[in-house]
Amino acid sequence: MPDSSKTNDSSHRLSHIPVSILDLAPITAGSTAAESLRNSLDLAQHAENWGYHRYWLAEHHGMPGIASSATSVVIGHIAGGTKKIRVGSGGIMLPNHAPLVIAEQFGTLESLYPGRIDLGLGRAPGSDPLTSHALRRGPGSDGQDFPERLAELRNYFQPVSGSSMRVRAIPGEGLHIPIWLLGSSGFSAQLSAQLGLPFAFASHFAPDYLLPALNLYRTHFHPSAELAKPYAMIGVNVIVADTDAEARRLATSQHQQFLNLIRRRTSQLSPPVDHLDWTPQEQAVVERQLSYSAIGSPETVRNRLEHLLAETEADEIIVAAQIYDHKARLRSYELLSGLFGGQRSL
């Protein structure tokens, strides 16, 4: 579990907290999912050497630019190609799945890679309504029964003492797999606090409710067997290059991706451009969604991240970097690792 012994003081500085990676497994324009997954493993192996704490992948379906739809399978691929970095989901969308299946999948992963697996859970569909229906094959769930599904899932891992469960998760039963709740509103913040679980906020694309959600989580937190004190992680888009101008240009790939989402288009991750063709209204929406970003030279990024940490008092940050060129993406994470004291071995 996370180290909850930190207090809200100078420990909330970039050099004093864990820094992790959220890999959206980008499929770049003209590329394939196979190349994306090879790149993800390459990045994870470098990240392990550079001192990153955990490496998470996200469940998205029907997205031409994201290769991690079979999230549990990709986690196994990454864990199998690394040695010590924690690997997990950021997250599994629990309404898409029977809790028993997730218990078995992550029980299998934990059995293969003991002490290295995280299970981050969300309640969003991670896809469009038609794809959600295809996944769920029935009335499905709108996310309102998430607490009940979560309780069922946790019970498969740690059955209530004295119970005679007729349905069991094997592998899974008796294993300790850290569960995180992910969200972009107060729902998961409050549930995390109630259950005494670590909480991760999706501020890298939905920052509006971040500060109220963190306050809600910390104010209402109940200590548990899992966690003695609140532990909050925030998502931040980070792109580091040798100059501010180079980093801003690399960031236009992500800007195009979000612009396409606003226009209800899906596409592979586009190469960077010198000029973005957007209206002032579209620009305002994209920049608001991506306001929790640190883009620039190492010094610019350091200053921005220190500001965000002072503002949020986050216990950990998880970094997303939608960069078109794989070498530039590696370089960005290498430069970032130098800011928090990681190793440099590229």
How high is the pLDDT of residue 338?
96
Whether the per-residue pLDDT at 344 is higher than 60: the answer is no
For the segment 90-111, the average pLDDT, to the nearest whole number, is 96
For the segment 318-341, the average pLDDT, to the nearest whole number, is 97
Query: pLDDT digits over 152-165, tens only?
Result: 999 999 997 766 67
For the segment 107-115, the average pLDDT, to the nearest whole number, is 98
Label residue 124 by pLDDT band (50, 70, 90).
Answer: confident
Distances from the Cα of 341 to the Cαs of 18, 145, 333, in angstroms? 10, 42, 12
Lowest mean pLDDT among 153-157, 210-214, 261-265, 315-319: 261-265
Lowest mean pLDDT among 12-21, 139-148, 195-204, 246-255: 139-148
For the segment 285-314, the average pLDDT, to the nearest whole number, is 97
Whether the per-residue pLDDT at 131 is higher than 80: the answer is no
For the segment 89-115, the average pLDDT, to the nearest whole number, is 96
Query: pLDDT digits over 223-258, tens only?
Result: 999 999 999 999 999 999 999 999 999 999 999 999
3-state secondary structure of 23: strand
How high is the pLDDT of residue 166?
85
Whether the per-residue pLDDT at 329 is higher than 50: the answer is yes
For the segment 88-100, the average pLDDT, to the nearest whole number, is 95
Label residue 345 by pLDDT band (50, 70, 90).
Answer: very low
Label residue 132 by pLDDT band (50, 70, 90).
Answer: confident
Interior CA angle at 323 toward 78 and 63, to 5°? 70
CA 178 to chain centre: 14
User: DSSP labels for 120-162?
Assistant: EEE-S-SS-HHHHHHHH-SS---STTHHHHHHHHHHHHSPPTT
How high is the pLDDT of residue 93?
94
pTM of the predicted model, to two decimals?
A: 0.93
Residue 315, amino acid: D
Residue extents of the structural domains in the chain: 19-236+312-339
For the segment 270-299, the average pLDDT, to the nearest whole number, is 96
How high is the pLDDT of residue 233?
98
Whether the per-residue pLDDT at 9 is higher than 90: the answer is no
Whether the per-residue pLDDT at 135 is higher than 80: the answer is no
User: DSSP labels for 230-280?
Assistant: --EEEEEEEEE-SSHHHHHHHTHHHHHHHHHHHTT---PBPPP-SS----H
Return the closest-CA partner of residue 340 out of 97, 50, 33.
Answer: 50
19-236+312-339: which CATH topology?
TIM Barrel (3.20.20)
Q: Would you give the DSSP letter of residue 96?
A: G
Whether the per-residue pLDDT at 6 is higher than 50: the answer is no
What average pLDDT does the structure give for the chain? 92
Beta bridge mates, 236: 319
Whether the per-residue pLDDT at 134 is higher than 50: the answer is yes
Whether the per-residue pLDDT at 5 is higher than 60: the answer is no
Whether the per-residue pLDDT at 343 is higher than 90: the answer is no
